[in-house]
Structure 1
């Protein structure tokens, strides 16, 4: 009789629930669902993509989890990163043209050219961060 009781008390390592999801017995005696994230694409994520990921994690948790669970998070961050770098190039070129920062200035007065370029890059990056990262 005691063998029968011991047999029913032993928990199986893997079970399938009524909902069709498989569960695995944890070390703490509880069953945990065997959930796996879908396979997604893997891209290297740059600075702007990482900034966007942190922003979503802290301020838009629902979108963060939706992208993560759908397997689209890495691709989304890569796309955001690419958009930011492309916009940065366009803005820098437009600002250089409108402010008269040319190769001629670079050849004649390197310090003035460097100061102007640093200012242009900083302003362009501020625009990108406000419009694409923190929106």
Structure 2
């Protein structure tokens, strides 16, 4: 028996596995886009909590694009939130020049709050 056969009726290749011919199926090749920290966090979330959604994205070949888009949205939202909160609370370059430790403490606090907002709004929803 041949290892591979082609069925002209349906246009599929089949591979011999033991006593059976199984179709040679591949996921569609999607363009690979970089996925950063936020996208990786969201990937773990949907793998654990939204399995059907994850499998639909995976089998349709749209997973990488989806995660890349989430990552870009989260990154833009993070920088925008940090900037807006810093302006609202008066954390400026003047404070940075006058009292570096206070500026670092306040910026770390602002960044933590921005991360929490993004996690609640985008990543874990």
What's the TM-score once normalised by structure 2's chain length? Answer: 0.90
1:3-22 pair list within 5 angstroms? 11-15=1-5, 20=10, 21-22=12-13
Which structure has the larger Rg? 1
Structure 2 match to 1:45:
35
The reply to whether residue 84 of structure 1 matches residue 85 of structure 2 is: no
Instruction: Give the aligned CA root-mean-square deviation in angstroms.
Output: 1.7
Mapped partners of 2:43, 2:86: distance in 1: 30
1:116-131 pair list within 5 angstroms? 116-131=106-121
Structure 2 match to 1:93:
83
Structure 2 match to 1:108:
98
What number of residue pairs does the alignment pair up? Answer: 124
What's the TM-score once normalised by structure 1's chain length? Answer: 0.84
Q: How far did residue 31 of structure 1 move? A: 3.2
In structure 2, runs of 5+ residues without a counterpart are none
> Structure 1 residue runs of 4+, over 4 Å off?
none
Moved more, 64-73 or 106-115: 64-73
Mapped partners of 2:29, 2:95: distance in 1: 51
